[in-house]
Amino acid sequence: MSGKELVSKTVQLHKGSNYVAISELSSLPAGYYLVQFNTAEGRIFKQVTKQ
């Protein structure tokens, strides 16, 4: 996977469902972005589309 890290932040997550707001996304141009979550079990990648 190649690309450039645009934003990095640390948030506290709890067991179950979590809501993570990425307010920094508002300053980025429209496009596709990959979000990486690092957990004790490993990494999770999610694609985000900004229109």
Residues 1-51 pLDDT 10s: 668 888 898 888 888 898 988 888 889 999 999 999 888 889 999 999 999
- The range of the structural domain enclosing residue 16 comes to 1-40
In a domain, 47, yes or no: no
> For residue 1, what pLDDT is reported?
61
pLDDT of residue 12: 86
Read off φ and ψ for residue 50, nearest 5 degrees: -110, 125
Question: Does 5 reside within a domain?
Answer: yes
Structure tokens at 20: 């993570």
Number of independent structural domains in the chain = 1
| Res 32: pLDDT | 92
Asked whether residue 6 is assigned to any structural domain, the reply reads yes
Q: Kindly report whether the global pTM for this prediction surpasses the value 0.85.
A: no
Q: Does 27 map to a domain?
A: yes
Looking at the domain assignment, is residue 20 inside a domain?
yes
pLDDT at position 14: 86
Q: Within a domain: residue 46?
A: no
Residue 33 identity: Y
